[in-house]
Amino acid sequence: MLILTKGSIDECNTKYAQGGIAAAIGRDDSPGLHYEDTMTAGAGLCDPEAVRILTEEAPARITDLIRFGVPFDTNEGEVALAREAAHSVNRILHAGGDATGEHIELTLASLARLRNISILEYAQATRILMDGVAARGIEAMDTRTHTTLEYEGRHVILASGGAGRLFTLTTNPEVTTGDGIALAYQAGAALSDMEFFQFHPTALRLPGAAVFLISEAVRGEGGVLRNNKGERFMLDYHPQGELAPRDVVARSIVDQMQRSGEDHVYLDITHLPSQLVSARFPQIYRFCLQHGVDITRDRIPVAPAAHYMMGGVKTNVWGETTIPNLYACGECACTGVHGANRLASNSLMEVLVFGHRVVERTVAAPRAAAPVLGPLDGVVDFARCPEPSLELPGLSLARLQGLLWGEVGILRTGAGLQKAVGVLRRWDTTIGPPSDRSTHELANLLTVGRLMAEAALIREESRGAHYRTDFTEPRDDWRHHIVFAKG
């Protein structure tokens, strides 16, 4: 087995996951309850079979992680379980307080090294090599020398993460540029649910400080949101208050910021014992303290930021895409588990459950000659979106991010989406051939951002994380997926 990665093996979104990983292992919990919560969060677009598999196989994947050495936090000898938004019971395992992703990532990366798996770092995938309709390998560029090589394999598995770098404000690291999704699309694979992108309600918003996730678990432990007058406001928007679904909390914060004219609200956890706060959230405590905010005494200035991509390369429950021998798992895949809105802490579990299934399938399977996933419904014709004529600003990463943040962000309008689609399409026809890591990344972000804007324009309703101020309610006739495939 060969792993190609454009950075170092342990640099990815997983490493930054704080809150944790969801699994029904508590006494008062069951896979059935976890299933119900996931389906409700997904707002009518989850694939029931994928959710059943996720929730039933999750406890076994936790057992694997414990066996591999992930040190989950415990309480009186039992694994400690925290609460996050829209979960009906405490169900979130965590490690090192708020360092869950880092512990999982480092444990698995060091195991991969020990097992003699070949790992090629600083090798950026630039093209999926095809043999007729089937994948046969990957073209990749050494990001330091810019030389290009081809790697052939029985199966090609995309595990390249999401595209959080599409937006000006994001909790995601620099590597999250939608590479696998764009390459799969260019190779002809179907993409699904591209319009559904989740914004995390609470990222640190402080002049001079990087955007830094303030875990939902802080609200799960009792943290409350206050406006600039010090008033608690979430109960005015939703009966579950701070633990309302993520999209509701993010929009409520935007509403409060628009009323006050400020670029943040406050997350207040000062009423909890300071030792509990610093022990339960050591990373957040340290990061904020370095920037002059003692979270045991001061309210934390926060605002929403781009966080997680629900859409991606369409797969079945074995990770198979519409291209024979091409598989996808993790944030670059759309397994159908998340629907229109991901339930908090389901993403680390999704990649474990479906990554495990991809391995099961590929270890035994011979190369396939014909697609196994299909037939597809709802493949969309781009011609539906009219292209406005407008002045074209030059393409740069900052302009792309600004356009997506402004027009394809938390609150979307038909007019804004039309504008975004027009600009993105024109950039798409004028962008030059990529030559190094940053130009490849920009091209990939442009492909993914354009498809996101196209899908958001087509979906004339609000559902889950997709909110249109010109169509504020869900519509029954829109209870289906938008699937793109390059003709």
Residues acting as catalytic residues: 246
Euclidean distance between CA atoms 205 and 212, whole angstroms? 8
Chain residue at closest Cβ approach to ligand SIN: 19
Contact set for ligand SIN, span 370-429 (CB under 6 A) = none
Cα-based distances in Å from 204 to 169, 222, 342, 406: 10, 18, 21, 19
- Residue keyed to tokens 């994947």: 61
- Residue 345 near ligand SIN by CB under 6 A: yes
- Residue 170 near ligand SIN by CB under 6 A: no
Of the listed pieces 31-39, 50-58, 123-131, 211-219, which binds ligand SIN according to CB under 6 A? Answer: 211-219
- Residue 216 near ligand SIN by CB under 6 A: yes
Q: At what angle do helices 100-114 and 48-68 cross, to 10 degrees?
A: 70
Of the listed pieces 15-23, 259-267, 283-291, 448-456, which binds ligand SIN according to CB under 6 A? Answer: 15-23
- Residue 301 near ligand SIN by CB under 6 A: no
Q: Is 312 within 8 Å of 326 (Cβ atoms)?
A: no
The pair of structure tokens assigned to 373 is 């996933």
Among 4, 19, 358, 425, binds ligand SIN (CB under 6 A): 19
Which residue, 84 or 461, is less far from ligand SIN as judged by CB? 84
Euclidean distance between CA atoms 158 and 438, whole angstroms? 20
Shortest reach from residue 44's CB to ligand SIN, in Å? 21
Of the listed pieces 14-22, 278-286, 332-340, 400-408, which binds ligand SIN according to CB under 6 A? Answer: 14-22
Of the listed pieces 140-148, 159-167, 188-196, 340-348, which binds ligand SIN according to CB under 6 A? Answer: 340-348
Which residue, 93 or 395, is less far from ligand SIN as judged by CB? 93
- Residue keyed to tokens 């740069």: 396
Go through the chain and tell me how many residues it has.
487
Which residues are bridge partners to 226 per DSSP?
A: 232, 266
- Category of 38 on φ-ψ map: left (φ > 0), alpha (ψ -120 to 50) or beta: alpha
Among 126, 215, 315, 444, binds ligand SIN (CB under 6 A): 215
- Residue 12 near ligand SIN by CB under 6 A: no
Which residue, 125 or 351, is less far from ligand SIN as judged by CB? 351
Which residue, 136 or 246, is less far from ligand SIN as judged by CB? 246
Cβ neighbours of residue 113 closer than 8 Å, sequence gap 6 or more: 9, 119
The pair of structure tokens assigned to 290 is 């370095």
Shortest reach from residue 373's CB to ligand SIN, in Å? 27
Among 93, 108, 217, 455, binds ligand SIN (CB under 6 A): 217
- Residue 18 near ligand SIN by CB under 6 A: yes
Shortest reach from residue 198's CB to ligand SIN, in Å? 8
The pair of structure tokens assigned to 109 is 């990366």
Shortest reach from residue 216's CB to ligand SIN, in Å? 3
Sign of CA dihedral 429, 431, 432, 433: negative
Shortest reach from residue 19's CB to ligand SIN, in Å? 3
Which residue, 92 or 373, is less far from ligand SIN as judged by CB? 92
Which residue, 17 or 70, is less far from ligand SIN as judged by CB? 17
Shortest reach from residue 410's CB to ligand SIN, in Å? 16
Which residue, 94 or 419, is less far from ligand SIN as judged by CB? 94
**Judged by CB under 6 A, how many residues of this single chain contact ligand SIN?**
11
Cβ neighbours of residue 136 closer than 8 Å, sequence gap 6 or more: 129, 130, 152, 153, 156, 325
Euclidean distance between CA atoms 182 and 173, whole angstroms? 18
Which residue, 94 or 357, is less far from ligand SIN as judged by CB? 94
Q: Is 484 within 8 Å of 194 (Cβ atoms)?
A: yes
Of the listed pieces 38-46, 215-223, 366-374, 406-414, which binds ligand SIN according to CB under 6 A? Answer: 215-223
Shortest reach from residue 243's CB to ligand SIN, in Å? 12
Euclidean distance between CA atoms 478 and 374, whole angstroms? 21
Give a three-class secondary structure readout of 17-72.
Answer: CCCCEECCCCCCCCHHHHHHHHHHHCCCCCCHHHHHHHHHHHHHHHHHHHHHCCCE
Q: Is 24 within 8 Å of 34 (Cβ atoms)?
A: yes
Which residue, 22 or 451, is less far from ligand SIN as judged by CB? 22
- Residue 256 near ligand SIN by CB under 6 A: no
- Residue keyed to tokens 């704080």: 18
Q: Of 196, 166, 168, whose CA–CA distance to 182 is shortest?
A: 166
Q: Which residues bind ligand SIN (CB under 6 A)?
A: 17-19, 215-217, 307-308, 344-345, 347
